[in-house]
A and B are shown apart, each in its own frame.
Chain A
């Protein structure tokens, strides 16, 4: 008898545990829901494309642990968008062969235009999480949506930081600042730079001393530009870099003892810190939040989501989330919220749900909020961005100050050997 009792007790315990586990897993998922993911996984953009895909995968698993999308398990069909032609043909393949109704991606501004046009021809939703080409949402397409700000938003934030944070710390009025613009010549670089130029001159009356574009993949020597800029003596250099060019320009500026008060270079890849260490101290980059980010500044639901996301990334990669992770994951989470509300991927209903969404800053991962415009673009002021600074080979969050525990250093930048 006691033995049978023991057995039933064990059985009861086992059942209870299974029940607990089931509760822990959220509701059970019935069936799968497949979306297409396009990223450059081979070729020159692969290093960032893979990071974005990793961000998508981490968020997909997190979503599936939290009820999936529309009660179904979220799965991916992945396409390799190595260049614009491949992006369009892979978009076609995912739509016609894999039967997806929603595509998401695509790290680079050179890719999202071609891929989303292919999707639009099939009336398939294109949910962009990271390309910033302003033209993406200016083509009158009803099928495109972008969770990240566009290039004009980057320019807007950069000049905001220069005029409202740097200028007072230099003891200058914004219209006394001399600013030089330097940028790689892709649609990304041009979009950001032109928006920044417009705001700097139009709104703050800053003095533009130069505006130079270069091809990032074939510029092997920045000395001629540096020699020219040195003579123009700018206070601030606004440099939109893309890869190797960020490191090369900085290193050669040091060689040429080119002095300026601050540099905003929009380059957030960890290789800058790895390549230069403390020699790279000083430049700013407008990004998603990094070390020093004050979670308490977010709303309670945003805090919880951000904390869980970081823990998952930490578990998977052993490090703090990188920009690619944050953009892809942040965008995919918004897609989940929309799909759960709309309960369909049918375009009109989906679109109506997106347009009706209204979440304040601090509600989501990265401290973002949501308010889409008719053209499918999430609003600049909702997609909160942060200024990070390279300090000792690391990027740390320094602005807006209410979101950070750390502060910007070396303002103005001293001579090259005094930035320790």
Chain B
């Protein structure tokens, strides 16, 4: 073993820092993945344009900060209803036509939507990297040998709150129950008098509202540019599969696992290995527990 790695106070600080980084990075992944898992779980649609809605959220934060000096944490409250509307609109224009089509048609449609949105952003706002730098973006918190950014803590707290809220909504409200019923068996739900089209529209709009809000929250942490979404979206699929399709709490735990693999793998094996590590995990989960680590057995077959 490398003598530099023997456990002294500096090493304990290093390990503590890795722990903190895992939790905060996991929070960001969870924030992004929660909308995806909702759409995935209820509609059985793999939304390849998810990252682009995140990118639009980031641009919303950028423009409202640059043009009007609005703080992203204020814009957050505007973004939720705004992206809910964007969701309703994209559902009516794009998703409604393919909701009963084959999975292939749905994949092609969302991939097309993704490329279209990226290029609209490129034409409208150029490919330059943009930055949102409110006063609190350079606030560093230091606790017992660990250091982290205030914006990450806020993102983590909101990720947890959002997960809990969606979990409760799905579990205890009538609409949530209707959504779960539709996910389990669309035909039976229709026979029970559920307007499945409305359920899908609502699901899609909530999913988009979540990821739009996530975009606003991560904007102070990362650069804003037309393909910013790609940086996170592949990870979100890993998270969703790990956590189990449509499982909110699973998505949160899945995010923490992916972040832990990334942080610990980067530290001990080298950064080049981190993607190898979590994709091996991804494949292993698909082979041994296709419903996800926390998903219900058989959930992956539902609605297929």
- Chain A residues in contact with chain B, CB under 8 A? 42-44, 46-50, 185, 212-215, 217-221, 223-225, 227-228, 230-232, 243-244, 247-248, 251, 254-257, 269, 271, 274-275, 279
Contacts and interface: CB of A to CB of B under 8 A. Distances in A.
Contacts of B131: 247, 271, 274-275
Given A44-B227, A213-B271, A227-B18, A220 B28 contact: yes
Interface string B236-258: 00000000000000000000000
A269 B232 CA distance: 23
B149 interface: yes
Given A244-B231, A269-B129, A271-B131, A223 B223 contact: no
13 contacts: A212-B271, A214-B266, A217-B230, A218-B231, A223-B21, A224-B264, A228-B267, A231-B10, A244-B129, A244-B231, A255-B149, A275-B131, A275-B223
A32 to B, nearest CB: 29
A47 B267 contact: no
A43 B232 CA distance: 16
Contact of B227 (A43, A227, A228, A247): A43
A212 B226 CA distance: 28
A223 B25 CA distance: 10
Nearest to A277: B133
B225 interface: yes
B272 A47 contact: no
A217 B267 contact: no
Contacts of A218: 231, 234-235, 275
B147 A224 contact: no
A232 B4 contact: yes
B140 interface: yes
Given A47-B127, A243-B223, A269-B129, A212 B272 contact: yes
Interface string B218-233: 0000110111001110
A224 B267 contact: yes
Specify which of B25, B119, B133, B147 lies most central, judged by the most chain A CB atoms within 10 Å of its CB.
B147
B64 interface: no
Given A185-B272, A275-B129, A220 B225 contact: no
Contacts of A48: 127
Given A254-B140, A269-B129, A271-B130, 7 more contacts: A215-B275, A220-B222, A220-B262, A224-B262, A224-B271, A227-B18, A257-B147
B119 A224 contact: no
Specify which of A48, A214, A254, A279 lies most central, judged by the most chain B CB atoms within 10 Å of its CB.
A214
B263 interface: yes
Contact of A255 (B10, B28, B147, B275): B147
Interface in B194-229: 222-223, 225-227
Specify which of A219, A227, A255, A269 lies most central, judged by the most chain B CB atoms within 10 Å of its CB.
A227
Interface string B13-27: 010011001000100
Nearest to A46: B127
B278 to A, nearest CB: 10
Contacts, number: 110
A255 B140 contact: yes
A216 to B, nearest CB: 9
Nearest to B16: A227
B263 A231 contact: no
B190 interface: no
B271 A247 contact: no
The 5 closest A-B pairs by CB, nearest first: A47-B127, A224-B266, A214-B271, A271-B129, A46-B127
Contacts of B25: 220-221
A282 B56 CA distance: 33
Contacts of B271: 212-215, 219, 224-225
A185 B129 CA distance: 20
Contacts of B138: 251, 254, 279
A212 to B, nearest CB: 5
B264 A213 contact: no
Contacts of A225: 266-267, 271
B122 interface: yes
Nearest to A49: B127
Secondary structure type dominating chain A contacts: helix
A224 B118 CA distance: 31
B17 A256 contact: yes
Contact of B222 (A47, A248, A254, A255): A248
B126 interface: yes
Contacts of A256: 17, 147
A155 to B, nearest CB: 19
A217 B25 CA distance: 16
Nearest to B14: A227
B270 interface: yes
Nearest to A221: B25
Contacts of B226: 46
B129 A243 contact: yes
B65 interface: no
A47 B128 contact: yes
A247 B223 contact: yes
A272 to B, nearest CB: 9
Specify which of B25, B129, B131 lies most central, judged by the most chain A CB atoms within 10 Å of its CB.
B129
B299 to A, nearest CB: 28
Contacts of B149: 255
Contacts of A223: 17-18, 21, 263
A271 B128 CA distance: 8
Given A47-B127, A47-B128, A221-B262, A271 B223 contact: yes
Nearest to B270: A212
Nearest to B28: A220
Contact of A224 (B18, B231, B275): B18
A269 B272 CA distance: 25
Contact of A42 (B119, B223, B264, B267): B119
Contacts of B17: 223, 227, 256
B294 interface: no
Contact of A220 (B18, B133, B231): B231
B73 interface: no
A307 to B, nearest CB: 28
Contacts of A43: 118, 227
A282 to B, nearest CB: 16
Nearest to B141: A255
A45 to B, nearest CB: 8
Nearest to A254: B140
B282 interface: no
